[in-house]
Structure 1
Amino acid sequence: MDQRSNAESLWPDPPELPPPAIMDQRWTDAIFLHWRIPENAAARFMPPGVQPDLFDSSSWVGLIGFRIQNAGIGRGPGIPYLGSFSEVNVRLYSRGPDGTRGVVFLSLDRNRLPVVLAARAAEIPYVWSRIRYSQPRPDSPDVEAAGYSVRRLRQGARSTVVPQSDATVDDPLSVFLTATFGMHGTFRGRSIYIPNTHKPWPLCTAKLHHLKDELFASAGISASGPPESVL
């Protein structure tokens, strides 16, 4: 990515996916927190042949919360109940030997057990958790900002993320951290790449109102201090 380009031209063209599509879904109310970490801290989590993707000579670890709506098989309609849920994931940024950029998930917390079990069968590190999304409402003056809280139902780790949104943004780092079109992983001992496509995010900068996290430690990674990027 050319860090000297104008911000308006930074967002890459979303790729066209080769058929067949595995699933279709809508993401809403996304919150992105990111910390800078050493490259060697991320390298040990990469699948065989995959290396950390760098920005500003650093690797990055993200704590991401969002709501999925109307997830369905292929291009079909959303599945009732199971197709709408919240997720909070911990992820790193990766680059395959062919230059393909993606993410490596260290954990993905979801509040739908059948979805978690199906994904774990594919060796994707899903965790069954109770996730609550809160947003300010006139009848709830105690809720000052939108955010997510996670409580794992078996492992006990928790996380609470509450940022406050600010101005719109489209800078090189923000695009690098959110324009992700695939995941690198491991299945039966071999590296795999699963592509996706999505439209540009309407990003806003944010200030962190509250954070208490145990998901990083549970995943075996550490990041000190406040996040460098809050979107």
Structure 2
Amino acid sequence: MEPVTPCAPRTPRRTLFRQSWHDLVFLHWPADPFEVAGLLPPGTVPDLHRGRTYVGLVFFRLRGLAFGGTPALPYFGSFDEVNVRLYSRDALGRRGVVFRSLECDRLVPVLAADASFRLPYRWSRIRSQWFENRLLYRTSRRGAAGAGARVWLEIERTPVVPEPVEEFLTNRWGLHGRALGRSYYLPNTHPAWSFRRCSLLDWDDSLIAAAGLSQPEGAPLSVLYAPGVPVRFGTPVPLPGT
């Protein structure tokens, strides 16, 4: 089993694309492992921490999307994103995330991600705004079935050491997905996180239920803020037997 480490256990030999993530907000709730198992790609199972698995709702700003060693894309390479994610591992012990939905406020990246990696991107309206040390994110999906989410929090200034379960949920060095009839693992690497604790002032969500999961009960068990990291993704690797 791959250990949970603050830095990637492997470095991709080739950089497929680069980007940086800013002003990340992580909300997490416990999830039913049997329900999660039915939503993962073949060749993966729910990753458990002390017998429990989780669903995450993550807000952030993506900047500087670039392919290989080329310059960052103008306009289309920067957008806001909100995703619903689950936690997975494969037969080789690699831990990853599985995205159930990814809200994005640029249409072209939505179409490109669906065509290439079959990631469930959705074209949405997303707004983020700072009020001194308070941060507000709001998103609503375009169209008739307009699922959405909102988080309003106050961020402490002093960095904190995350709890073991929070390390388990955030130290993820790849994603599992499925495209062209095969499951795959897409590795990534970035510097170690720097986290700050938050006071959750208000929140609302209908994205988790829209992603096929039971709506969590009550407030999230973990709320974290991270200023951001630069990220590199390697090339996808097919999962054996899928």
TM-score normalised per structure 1: 0.89
Show the counterpart of 1:145. 134
84, 91, 106: which one aligns with 1:112: 106
1:134 offset after TM fit, Å? 1.2
Please list the CA deviations of residues 10-65 of structure 1 after superposition, one character each: whole Å capped at 9, or x if unmatched.
Answer: 74332443333111111110000000112112111111120000112111100000
Paired residue secondary structure (1:46): coil
RMSD: 1.9
- Equivalent positions of 1:1-231 (< 5 A) are 11-122=5-116, 123-137=118-132, 145-154=134-143, 155-166=145-156, 167=158, 168-222=160-214, 223-231=216-224
Paired residue secondary structure (2:178): strand
2: distance between equivalents of 1:56 and 1:108?
28
1: distance between equivalents of 2:151 and 2:6?
28
Overall identity of the aligned pairs, in %? 43
Which has the higher relative contact order, 1 or 2, with Cα contacts under 8 A spaced 6 or more apart? 2
Contact 2:7 2:171 in 1 (8 A): no
Contact 1:169 1:205 in 2 (8 A): no
Greater strand share, structure number: 2
Q: 1:15 to 1:82 in 2, by over 3 A?
A: farther
Paired residue secondary structure (1:130): strand
Q: Which runs of 5+ in 2 are unaligned?
A: 225-242
1: distance between equivalents of 2:38 and 2:2?
27
Q: Which runs of 5+ in 1 are unaligned?
A: 4-9, 138-143
2: distance between equivalents of 1:75 and 1:16?
20
Bigger Cα displacement from structure 2, 90-99 vs 75-84: 75-84
Moved over 4 A (4+): none
Contact 1:70 1:83 in 2 (8 A): yes
Bigger Cα displacement from structure 2, 72-81 vs 83-92: 72-81
Show the counterpart of 1:6. none
2: distance between equivalents of 1:56 and 1:226?
21
Aligned residues: 219
